[in-house]
Amino acid sequence: MIVSLLYKVTRRLLSVPTVLLRRETTKDAELLVLRHENAVLRRQLRPPLRYEPADRLWLSALSSLIPRRRWAQVFPVTPGTLMSWHRKLVARRWDYSERRRPGRPPTRPAIKKLVLRLARENSRWGHRRIQGELARLGHPIAASTVWEILHAAGIDPAPRRSGPTWREFLSAQANGVIACDFLSIDTSGLQRLYTLVFLEHHTRRLHITGVTAHPTATWATQQARNVADDLGARMDSLRFLIRDRDSKYTDTFDAVFQAEDIEIIKTPVRAPRANAHCERVIGSLRREVLDHVLILGEAHARRILTEYQRHYNEHRPHRARNQLPPEAEEQPLPVQDSPTRHVLRTRVLGGVTSEYRYAA
């Protein structure tokens, strides 16, 4: 009993300094809390108060130094708020949904779209060629990634996916292609005349040769020589002549162009679309002139066609050339004072069509 009583007395005596020290610590903690609260209030003038992560950490550390019974008078938050902060901190610690996934980052949608565009516009490009073009554009990407993008889109990553269409072939070879076809003309006396039409694909320049009622192989060959003389130095840039399988195109006719290293390309039987540009200009001739003029004879037909050829080459706009006529090299300068300038009309072929220009 004596030993037990002595132990209790000794413990009480030793606890007195601790209690006194704890009271001072509590006061200091309360002062620190109030000071920090004032700092928060100065930073945010309007309620409700929003505590930043650093504020929450500081308040949580000081909360253990203040007795629970005095929290309502001193501490700005409740114990439940501290616990909710802790729960959110723990949940964020183990939440991997917003963290970066392991491995390579995903390819941006814009890069995928660009890869598919390059593959679509260049049928002979493989995945390594596309990768090189992307690197030149400033997009470093692995060749295997390009392969995966093409494979996922159902596109064969091999160098050759599809052959060029006829239109693509003609567009690529337009600088060196000239085409020809026969045009028939019915006169007012029900006589049928013929003329040979040549069209340069690149410039859309039209060449209409002589008119005859009896076209023969000799006549067609002479028209080929006339066109070769008209072309002059431009013959050097031509590489292909497109024609059908008419019997009037003999070896002599072909020899006129083969002498200039021009290859003869024969269209398939009954395939007018294979010579689409020439068929289109013949259709323009009929719709714009022949359907509106009564042709009296060979001389009249020759004069009408010569005048339309001049109009077609020097004035008529073409969509394939950005609305430029065949013999124009560049777009005209914009007119600044167009409302004040007078526009003059020139009647072509007796008013069948018109040309317009500003008065000088």
3-state secondary structure 26-64: HHHHHHHHHHHHHHHHHHCCCCCCCCCHHHHHHHHHHHC
Quote the domain boundaries for residue 119: 109-152
Which residues, in sequence order, are bridge partners of residue 150?
Answer: none
Query: Which of 66, 90, 94, 89 lies closest to 79, judged by CA?
Result: 66
Co-location of 122 and 208 in the same domain: no
Give yes or no: residues 125 and 202 share one domain. Answer: no
Rank 99-108, 119-128, 302-311 by mean pLDDT and report only the highest. Answer: 302-311
Tokens representing 4?
């037990």
179, 65: one domain: no
Q: Are 244 and 226 in contact (CB under 8 A)?
A: no
Helix (H, G, I), strand (E, B) or coil at 233: helix
86: closest CA among 116, 120, 111, 61? 61
Residue 189 lies in a domain: yes
Structure tokens at 168: 């693509």
Neighbours of 197 (CB within 10 A): 22
Is there a contact between 171 and 161 (Cβ–Cβ < 8 Å)?
no
Residue 277 lies in a domain: yes
Domain contains 114: yes
Q: Which of 60-64, 112-116, 305-309, 337-341 has the lowest mean pLDDT?
A: 337-341
For residues 53 and 125, state if they share a domain. no
| Confidence class for position 7, pLDDT limits 50, 70, 90 | very low
Domain membership flag for residue 205: yes
In this structure, is residue 10 part of a structural domain?
Answer: no
Same domain for 76 and 114: no
Residue 40: both structure tokens together:
């928060």
The answer to whether residue 337 sits within a structural domain is: no
Same domain for 185 and 68? Answer: no
Q: Kindly state whether residues 185 and 224 are assigned to the same domain.
A: yes
Cis? peptide before 48, omega within 30° of 0: yes
Residue 158 domain-assigned (yes or no): no
**8 pLDDT exceeds 70?**
no
pTM: 0.56
Examine the domain organization and report whether 285 and 259 are in the same domain. Answer: yes
- Do 183 and 199 contact (CB within 8 A), yes or no? no
What does the DSSP 8-state code read for residue 290?
Answer: I
Average the pLDDT over 271-287 and give the result. Answer: 92
Give the least confident one: 184-188, 209-213, 268-272: 268-272
Residue 25 and residue 85 in one domain: yes
Give residues with Cβ within 8 angstroms of 175, minimum separation 6: 201, 202, 237
Q: Are 86 and 117 in a shared domain?
A: no
pLDDT > 90 in the chain, percent:
34
* Pair 265, 318 in one domain: yes
Give me the number of domains the chain comprises.
Answer: 3
CA 262 vs. chain centroid, Å, equals 36
CA distances from 231 to 27, 132, 236, 243, 308 (A): 107, 42, 9, 18, 18
Residue 316 lies in a domain: yes
Q: Has residue 82 got a pLDDT over 60?
A: yes
Q: How confident is the model at residue 178 (pLDDT cuts 50, 70, 90)?
A: very high
Query: Same domain, yes or no, for 300 and 327?
Result: yes
Task: Write down the pLDDT at residue 29.
Answer: 73
In degrees to the nearest 10, what's the CA dihedral of 172, 173, 178, 182? -60
